[in-house]
Chain A
Amino acid sequence: MTVLILLAKIFIMIGFLMTMAVLLTWVERKQSALMQDRIGANRADIFGFRMLGLFHPLADAIKLLTKEDFIPPSGDRFLHTLAPWIAFTTALAAFAVIPFGPPVHLFGREITLQVADPPIGILFVFVITGLSIYGVVLAGWASGNRYGLLGALRGAAQTISYEVSMGLSVIGLLMVFGSLSPAAISEAQGGLLFGVFPRWGILVQPIGFLIFFTAAIAETKRIPFDLPEGESEIIGFFVEYSGMKFGMMWLGEFVEIVVMSGLIAVLFFGGWQVPYLTPAGFLFPGGGSIALPEGIVLGLQIGAFLGKVVFFCWFQMLVRWTLPRFRYDQLMRLGWKVLLPLSLLNILVTGMVLLTWGA
């Protein structure tokens, strides 16, 4: 039974991630079009139905699956095939510890709405996102292409630089909530700050959020940090990829966006918490309250989590279509000279505040 529940949860999680990733390829086109006063992809049709271009992901999939899968003769066959799998699976795996909602009691069992809840959940995320760099480096190396290798080097340097700040930026948060488990952090954000504001991570750790968000965009390798890829100008690590292997790299990037959105929601925006919503219903600080049945509360909470994830996917797209790309030295300067000292300072200040006023 436990195994069945676990399998069901894995199935739902992968289904959710893949659906989101596929939809995001459409959102990316449509949103950028809206932002630039264009219409965007709307030509793929089935029997004349265009559905606002929603068939384009389907057309993409067909195109990628039927294209020639080319491995350069100077490349390494095995590693060249392995790299997209690493990039893709590590992107998927990081979502395993992110809770969709509070634990549910069903048929006398307590079911947590996440695939796994290790006590070191946040660490697990960092380990997995750290591993994802192997996909980039191997792809660049196994291509047997100098430009690919240079792209992979840029990718490696960028990931190392920003992973440090990313890890350090959440330490302050972990100190405040006193846990490494995403479920516990989500749970802890249900409290109130000064009895009025929801005790969300963004309010207790605004600087931490800024650093984390910046590093998260760098992790997903998107503009303004898309130096490893830079498809059209500086040529990235997947130049020599074609067909579905390229598709996996590409889809993995969108999965990473969803994962990062989920992580931001869990760490800084209360996860599945709705402000002032307790298991019994709404309880406002002014004294008003609305009693709600358990099912509706659960629905609201899961809905809130999904809404937050969708919002941050949207916001990352907004950032991607607004900012220009950093130059390489600017990237390094921002990472090592701004974000790293700032995150260290953040830890220091958080520690002092916690010591003075207590948790």
Chain B
Amino acid sequence: MKKDRISQKRLNFPERLYLAEILRGLWITGKHFFRNFLMHIGRALGVVKKRRGAVTIQYPEECRPIPAGYRARHRLLRREDGSPKCVACMMCPTICPANCIHIRAAESPDPTIEKYPVEFRINLDRCVMCGFCVEACPVDAIRMDTGVVEMSASDREEFVTVLDFLLDSKPAKNPV
């Protein structure tokens, strides 16, 4: 059986002297230093606008653009008269793998609609952001397009989003 071996290039003489190789390394890092240095100065003076001196995204101040179709926090849609679009058909809690959606249905006063949700809770603490609920919904009542990815709370209860909150959530402004 042939043995697997990590191929190791034999260094030639100038490489074994290290000196030229060290200078080459210093040249590369030095190039980065001066390029970024000038770029930062250029940006501070307003000369350089497009390119930036660092790849860092300074997070709380600037965020990465959220692509369209990104599964962020949920929201529920309304009909034109303002009532929830949801018909409380129980598709989403059925398919939800994390079992995080809780719906309490009631008979709708509108004769053309069978049911409506009295209570609609999503426990974001459990949610795995799989988006199955969005796909399962027969009436396009739930979407995950708010663009909100920063979800934090100091209490577990705060992770449970209720009906009004979900209905009042807005879609993300300009998804890329």
Contact = CB atoms under 8 A, between A and B. Distances in A.
Interface of A: 31, 33-39, 210, 318-319, 321-323
B56 A322 contact: no
Contact of A34 (B19, B26, B32, B58): B32
Nearest to A224: B22
B19 A210 contact: yes
18 contacts: A34-B33, A35-B29, A37-B36, A37-B56, A38-B54, A39-B53, A210-B19, A318-B26, A318-B29, A318-B30, A318-B33, A319-B22, A319-B26, A322-B22, A322-B25, A322-B26, A322-B28, A323-B25
Interface in B17-38: 19, 22, 25-26, 28-30, 32-33, 36-37
In order of increasing CB-CB distance, the 10 nearest A-B pairs are A39-B56, A34-B36, A322-B29, A39-B54, A35-B29, A322-B25, A35-B33, A34-B33, A37-B55, A35-B32
Contacts of A38: 54-56
A38 B30 CA distance: 14
A322 B24 CA distance: 10
Interface residues of B, number: 17
A35 B34 CA distance: 8
A38 B29 CA distance: 13
Contact of B29 (A33, A39, A321): A321
The winner among A31, A33, A34 for most chain B CB atoms within 10 A is A34
A39 B28 CA distance: 18
Interface in B41-57: 53-56
A273 to B, nearest CB: 25
A233 B53 CA distance: 31
B28 to A, nearest CB: 8
B26 to A, nearest CB: 5
A44 to B, nearest CB: 14
Contacts of A210: 19
A321 B33 CA distance: 11
Nearest to B17: A338
A56 to B, nearest CB: 16
A31 B33 contact: yes
Contacts of B26: 318-319, 322
